[in-house]
Amino acid sequence: MAAEVRVGLIGLGTVGSGVVSIIQRHQDELRHQVGCPVTVKKVAVRNLNKQRPVHIDSNMMTDQIEDVLFDQEIDVIIEVMGGVDTTREHVLKALQNGKHVVTANKDLMAVHGAELLRVAAENHCDLYYEASVAGGIPIIRGLSDGLSADRIKKIMGIVNGTTNYILTKMSQNGSSYDDVLKKAQELGFAESDPTADVEGLDAARKMAILATLGFSMDVSLDDVSVKGISSVTEEDLDYCDQLGYTMKLIGLAQRDDGRVEVSVEPTLLPKQHPLSSVHNEYNAVYVYGEAVGETMFYGPGAGSLPTATAVVSDLVSVMKNMRLGVCGNAIQEPLHKRTLKEDKEIDSKYFLRLRVIDKAGTFQAVTSLFASYDVSFEKLLQLPIEGEEVAEVIVITHHTNKENYLKLYKKLSELDVIESIESCYRVEGGK
């Protein structure tokens, strides 16, 4: 083994700067763990003149990515530049050139993960991606090592910090979605274009990665059914609270009899559920294994240093593998053929908020429609709306299958005593 391990970075934003800073500050511990020093040899950036929060010698910087990818002395490439298609080409080049890769890029792994892992294994290279899901939480290791003996049945994740921050603040302060989003943008918890976060796409990418790993099945982004939080109202959250629930944007991956469903949507959880206590920008992944039962991994889902910690932990794993001469060996092909559930196999409870005409017979018409689809009520709340001739009916159903629920939903929307279906959400985490 080389007297030192040399690392090249592509990208030097907040995560990249954090990686450089940790490597510099924790040199002793790193050397102790892997038996040799680790140095950053070259860093590719777009703009050489930009100010950076870490000190890097200017002759180590380059604006030519190839200078890093083809440097014969570099052992490991750390990809923290982001992007999908061009980045895929860079990572492929690196792997084909015999370099190990550590990436923090969820977009890349969600879309091209299967291909990149295959190419890595073919070239006896490592490809690690702990930082791509839930920043500082070692959930990828949790699934691949810690729970390796178990059969994972269900993964529920709060894997997007922006939306969790927004929902937490809406609940705590009774504020509107728009007000909280604006505040979150000011504080840097939301992007100026928040679409990927608030519409659930970011969470969906992470759930595709977790489902692929947890179920040993090639689940792609297109397999994830996605709904964001932009239409959640403060009234919805108020009713949740009254009924003993917390609303979270939950990424759900579930397996029953070898068939899986993966979704991201605003979901009601009982207040006692471990995920209900995950507030603000924090992330958490709840895993239900056949043998282990309930476990949860909690921590910061983003941020320069937490994410950089995950990257450097991956780097440590690569360096250990290099020392042991076993790089790429641990990458596994999926065990199971991708098999998705049909709607009639997807079982859940639902929250519905209906605006109904406040007159005799309405309630009976609504309840008998539910009964005709064999959907019974777990909780029911009817509230007159002051000064109007309408009332609100809030329902939490017992379990039903999605096909049945969608049919019921359509009939409800056509029923003449129902003025509108104000909102509907999935309810999880109970018995």
Q: How far is the CB of 81 from its own copies (least distance, A)?
A: 20
CB 233 → its own copies: shortest distance, Å?
25
Do residues 336 and 409 lie in contact, with contact meaning Cβ atoms separated by under 8 Å?
no
Sorted by sequence, the CB contacts under 8 Å of residue 14 that are 6+ apart come out as: 53, 303, 304
**14 annotated ligand-binding residue:** yes
Nearer to its own copies, 16 or 200 (CB): 16
Cα dihedral: 406, 410, 415, 420 (round 10): 90
307 is in an annotated binding site: no
Q: 13 labelled as ligand-binding?
A: yes
* Residue 161 C-beta: closest distance to its own copies, Å: 12
Whole-angstrom distance, CA of residue 412 vs CA of residue 420: 9
Residue ranges that bind its own copies, judged by CB under 8 A: 18, 22, 26, 28-30, 32-33, 130, 136-138, 141-142, 145-151, 216, 272, 274, 277, 279, 282, 289, 291-300, 303, 305-306, 308-313, 315-317, 320, 323-324, 326, 329-330, 332, 335
In the beta sheet, which residues pair with residue 299? 283
Closer to its own copies at the Cβ: 38 or 92?
Answer: 38
Q: Is 15 annotated as a binding residue?
A: yes
Give catalytic residue positions.
206
CB 34 → its own copies: shortest distance, Å?
Answer: 9
Tell me the closest approach of the beta carbon of residue 238 to its own copies, in angstroms. Answer: 21
Min. distance of Cβ 143 from its own copies in angstroms? Answer: 10
In one-letter notation, the amino acid at residue 42 is: K
Q: Residue 34: which of 9, 57, 7 has the closest Cα?
A: 7
Q: Is 12 annotated as a binding residue?
A: yes
- Whether residue 11 is annotated as binding a ligand: the answer is yes
157 is in an annotated binding site: no
Q: Is 8 labelled a binding residue?
A: no
Q: How far is the CB of 420 from its own copies (least distance, A)?
A: 36
Select from 391, 387, 377 the least CA-distant residue to 420.
391
Cα–Cα dist 82/258, whole Å: 34
Would you state the structure tokens that stand for residue 199, as one six-digit string?
């519409």
113 vs 289, which CB is nearer to its own copies?
A: 289
- Indicate the annotated binding residues for NADPH: 106
- Indicate the annotated binding residues: 10-17, 106, 191
- Indicate the annotated binding residues for L-homoserine: 191
